[in-house]
Amino acid sequence: MGGEGESDSRLDGIRGFRAEDIPELVSVAEESRESASWSKEGYEKLCGLEGFLALVNEAAGCISGFVVGRQVADEAEILNLAVRRQNRRRGEGHALLSAVLEQLHRRGVNKVFLEVRESNEAGIAFYEKMGFAETGRRPGYYREPEEGAVLMEKKLTG
C-alpha cells in the first residue's frame, strides 16, 4: 500500500454496478467460499429489486471485488461482499463496505444487517472492526456446505 497521503490505485476504481458486470461478479464470488454463491440469473433477479445497490472495484478493466445490498425503508442488508483471492487483505473489502455504508447513510438508512458463516472467523472479525455487532445466530442458514449464520447489525448515525 502507498504511504500516508498516497492513493492506492487498486481502490480508485470503485464505481456503481452495471448489468454487464454480472459474469465477473460470478467469477469473483466463485473464488470466495465464504461469500454467497449465486448464479448469473440470481444476480439478474437482484438487479430488478427495489432498493438494490451494488458497487464494484475495477482495476485495469477487471472487477476485483464487489458489494451488493438492498435497502427497504430506513434499513438495509448487505447481501454479498467478495474480493478476488489475490487482492485480499489489502483494504479493498474495507473500501467497498465503507463506500456502500456511506451511500446507504445518504439514502437515510439507520440500520444495516448482514449474515456471515459461523466458520468465517476472519469475516466476523472484519465486520466487527467495521462496527457491526452480533445480534443472534441462525442454524442451518447456509447451504453447500450447510452451516449456521451469525447475524450482525450496524447502526448508522451522525
Measured CA to CA, the distance from residue 100 to residue 97 in angstroms comes to 5
Q: Is 115 a catalytic residue?
A: yes
Q: Is 43 a catalytic residue?
A: no
DSSP E strands: which ranges in 52-126?
52-59, 62-72, 75-83, 111-117
Measured CA to CA, the distance from residue 33 to residue 156 in angstroms comes to 29
Q: Which of 43, 92, 115, 142 is catalytic?
A: 115
Q: Which of 20, 30, 118, 127 is catalytic?
A: 127
Q: What element of type H or E holds 129?
A: helix 121-129
Would you please indicate which residues are annotated as catalytic (active-site) residues?
115, 127
